[in-house]
Amino acid sequence: MRQTPIEMRYRQIIEACIEISETCIAGKPDKRPTTGDILRRPEKEEAGNWSIVPVTPVVDWISSLSRLMESIKRMAVTSPEPRTIRGEESKALQLQPGPSQPGDRRPADKSFWLDATSNAKCYMLSSRLLKVTWGESPEHWKWITLPDSRFAECAELLNVYWLAVIGEIATEDLTPGTRYAVYLVYKLTGTAVGLRGGQTQRSSLRLYGEITVSTGKVSVDVVPAAARGMAAGVAYPVARGDGWMELKLAEFAADEKLLGEKKVIVDFREENDHVKKSGLVVEGMEFRPNK
């Protein structure tokens, strides 16, 4: 059956979209097309000469194409169906590049969603986006795939004396006027060493340019309240609904002053070089409204 001009034009647009999708899936993250590249292709197709087709079908077609274009824009920064992390507490949307493991469709870098109550932006940075001391040394850390993680990979600590996990987020990615809390999302293996038995770590909040805003004592060890003794001022973890633990590292307000900075940097450290540490599994660092 011979196609009408409008059908032929629509087919060209669909083929362009398919080509873009295949390029994004097949290419390495640093070689994938930019948002501008993605939008430029269908915009060129859309700029064709419509004088040869009736007005009403064209209006309907352009309306349909407009919706398609919006989907492509979202595709430029989003990934497929997300794994929500807090049920009713989030309107889940997923961000960032595809998987680092063949056949694994989970995101490699970060997830994004909107808080259901405030509509504020929330983020989880995967361990791949965090700065992990000795993270690329197979003697100290290994990268593993876990079925209950939202990300394609997690970092498991094998053997270090100096432990540091650092996450940072651009202030332009935050929702103005929101007070945020930052959490380390992790697990301890059954054979964890140097992280239990009253050991504490340090957290800090810095702004771009190394300006320290706050510091605190934290512990990744799950210690019952009755057994915490005299360790006043130490933040302890709580269990999440997704099978992981979360430890609050810092709080900050996305006010006018902070938004004038470039980035917010959050540190988790244990710098006692006399204590060997192992058995910490890091899924990521989460930024969400403080409640």
Residues 3-40: tens digit of each pLDDT: 565 556 666 666 666 666 666 655 555 556 665 555 55
Share of the chain above pLDDT 70, in %: 58
pLDDT reported for residue 207? 82
pLDDT score recorded for residue 141: 96
With 90 as the cut, is the pLDDT of residue 117 above it?
Answer: yes
The pLDDT-based confidence of 89 (bands split at 50, 70, 90) is very low
pLDDT of residue 21: 64
In angstroms, the CA 18 to CA 21 distance is 5
The yes-or-no verdict on residue 85 having pLDDT over 90 is no
Crossing angle of helices 5-26 and 35-46, in 10° steps, is 170
| pLDDT(280) > 80 | yes
Q: Could you tell me which residue, 246 or 22, shows the higher pLDDT?
A: 246
Max mean pLDDT among 13-17, 89-93, 262-266 falls in 262-266
Domains located in the chain, CATH noted: 5-77 (no CATH), 124-289 (2.60.120.260)
Which carries the bigger pLDDT value, residue 70 or residue 10? 10
Report the predicted TM-score, pTM, of the whole model to 2 decimal places. 0.65
pLDDT at 20: 67
List strands edge to edge, sheet with 234-235: 131-132, 163-170, 263-270, 201-207, 211-218, 234-235
